[in-house]
Structure 1
């Protein structure tokens, strides 16, 4: 009996000791490891669990590295605006009170937006959980767009971007003003980053009897069909070079998706490689 017990304990202890040694490697941050099977059911189940945990830890680590390395995308546009308007105050508008105050208002507005964006980056889950609390009101998408273009005007004056509003519709819908402002800003920031050589970004507002269709169009390099669904995922990033030489946190379009889903607005992207992209959403007209 003792001999049998000895061999059984050896059969169990050897693979467990091996798992223990491999687990020590995992603890050092080495994720390209595999916990082997041994033919003992209980030990094999433990190996499967540890292999699953290893894969999940690897994904989380990649996500962490991606966020830290690529956070510049969502912060780059407001930081550029703040820096540029600060330089203008120093060089041009310092002695002109009205112009200086306008420039300072834009800097303050962009600083507030930076705070909002940082909060979203730090706690995207909290943002999602609170999305049901929509403060619905009647909004003019044309007015929101005009305000957005005003904030981005420094990109026109300093970097030759061209912002165009197409369509005669006011685009009046029911929505949460703060959240819809964030949708337009994130769409625009994405277009600014991926704009084509013409540096032209088109804001198109169309309507029919029931709906408003809002589009932001650029003439950049476009999106491959294989990526069109992925771009809406949390922390998706694109490592290809583009105009502003930045890489995304992947949070911007994910936030857009969450906000538009909570509003029950249809949305999507049409894109052709080498010709550009059109991001859009469709919302019921306010009087409907």
Structure 2
């Protein structure tokens, strides 16, 4: 049973092409074989007549027994006198054709030429090849000889050969049929399997894969289908994880807001200090919820490519000094030192507000995960003359196995610490997206217990401004 119509269509196309080639080829073979047999027969007749001429010239005659021995079953030989009347005849034919020898042909024979033509017996309709020539003895004209051969006998030989060729063609056709079926199945089976796999993938069975050992276009198509399935699976898993994470992130502040607003509404507190503390918690959670919504909105805009950046040439040193001053108080409260050393004249081409967001997110992370020591910002150029900013802290560090995931949304190395500190798990994801939007890159290196460094590499401003 064929699965679909592509197998039938492809087989029909191949069979049609085979017949288009085979039919003209059979016609050409027929013509070539017929022409070969006829030409070969006439050539043999000429050679036989030439042989008779030699014998007659040497012996002055040709014995009737010799004529009978050398004449084939489908041939007749006539030896004619000077008046073109038959002296001897070997064969089964009649003498009717003798009276029909044209005068021009007789003159050509008498002048020593060799003639060849076709003759049709009016009584039987039989066709013959005729070859005639002059027999000479010692240079004197004496007799002439005519040799003719039945075309029907030659055609019988041709038909026998054609029968063998027909059998060979039928065998070739059957072999071609089997080969075409095998070939079509070999070509279409992977396509049908891919069709089935894509239908399963469309139904949500994203673990389905296509097996494609070949390295041709069909194999490439199978690889593309597998890649698509893998991408869809990753997208589905990421979406599920995103929905689970965002549900959790929203649930936490909503739970706090709901719980403490109930306490305040029902006045379930004893002192004014408790009321103030609950109001502070409500304010912090509302701010955290607002920040989460804003960051989600930023990521959605970046994903859709709708975020508008107002780029211009910016000096990094003043911007970073301003940001560091803003973090001076919380750093001092934690007992941390802030250090900045940025090369003067270090210029980038970018959106000032978004780049401030990048550095503020990195500084916020550094403060959140550093209990003692310092946070430093270094700025300069690399060997390619690209601006490079490095933000380094002496915090708790990040395990090596966690590093590939820290730019994922809602990913946290220490979940309890980040939630206590008000983190949303989106800061580094936003940083990476913003760096890519500025044609830049961000790398991270970390040693647990010693600290973490984020290396931000920007495009050269003259290149970026083009």
TM superposition score normalised by structure 2? 0.39
Shift of 1:273: 2.2
Q: What 5-or-longer segments of structure 2 have no aligned partner?
A: 1-14, 16-172, 265-271, 381-386, 459-466
CA distance in 2, matches of 1:118, 1:42: 41
1:217 to 366, 386, 393: 393
Structure 1 match to 2:327? 145
Q: 1:166 to 1:79 in 2, by over 3 A?
A: farther
CA distance in 1, matches of 2:214, 2:379: 66
CA distance in 2, matches of 1:9, 1:207: 65
Q: Does the 8 Å contact 2:398/2:413 carry over to 1?
A: no
Q: Does the 8 Å contact 1:169/1:205 carry over to 2?
A: yes
Structure 1 match to 2:302? 124
1:244 aligns with 2:417: yes
Which fold has the larger relative contact order, with Cα–Cα distance below 8 Å and residues 6 or more apart in sequence? 1
CA distance in 1, matches of 2:402, 2:305: 25
Q: Does the 8 Å contact 1:217/1:279 carry over to 2?
A: no
Structure 2 match to 1:32? 207
Larger Rg: 2
CA distance in 1, matches of 2:413, 2:312: 36
CA distance in 1, matches of 2:286, 2:312: 25
Shift of 1:26: 1.9
**Secondary structure at 1:271's aligned position in 2?**
strand
CA distance in 1, matches of 2:191, 2:283: 65
2:431 to 245, 256, 264: 256
Structure 2 match to 1:273? 448
Q: Does the 8 Å contact 1:131/1:259 carry over to 2?
A: no
CA distance in 1, matches of 2:362, 2:189: 57
Q: 1:260 to 1:8 in 2, by over 3 A?
A: closer
Structure 2 match to 1:286? none
1:166 aligns with 2:344: no
Q: Does the 8 Å contact 2:338/2:376 carry over to 1?
A: yes
1:113 to 271, 284, 291: 291
Moved more, 40-49 or 117-126: 40-49
Q: Does the 8 Å contact 2:328/2:338 carry over to 1?
A: no
**Secondary structure at 1:30's aligned position in 2?**
coil
Q: 1:142 to 1:105 in 2, by over 3 A?
A: farther
1:22 aligns with 2:197: yes
What whole-Å deviation, never above 9, does each CA across 1:193-229 have from its counterpart, x for those lacking one?
A: 6x37xx4585446789xx99774525214342x765x
**Secondary structure at 1:33's aligned position in 2?**
coil
Count of paired positions: 254
Instruction: State the Cα RMSD in Å.
Output: 5.4
User: Matches of residues 63-142 of structure 1 in structure 2 within 5 Å?
Assistant: 63-71=238-246, 79=253, 92=273, 110=288, 112-126=290-304, 130-131=308-309, 133=311, 139=319, 140-142=322-324
Q: 1:119 to 1:12 in 2, by over 3 A?
A: same
Q: Does the 8 Å contact 1:266/1:281 carry over to 2?
A: yes
Q: Does the 8 Å contact 1:266/1:282 carry over to 2?
A: yes
Q: Does the 8 Å contact 1:268/1:280 carry over to 2?
A: yes
Q: What 5-or-longer segments of structure 1 have no aligned partner?
A: 151-155, 157-161, 284-288
Q: Does the 8 Å contact 1:232/1:257 carry over to 2?
A: no
**Secondary structure at 2:292's aligned position in 1?**
helix
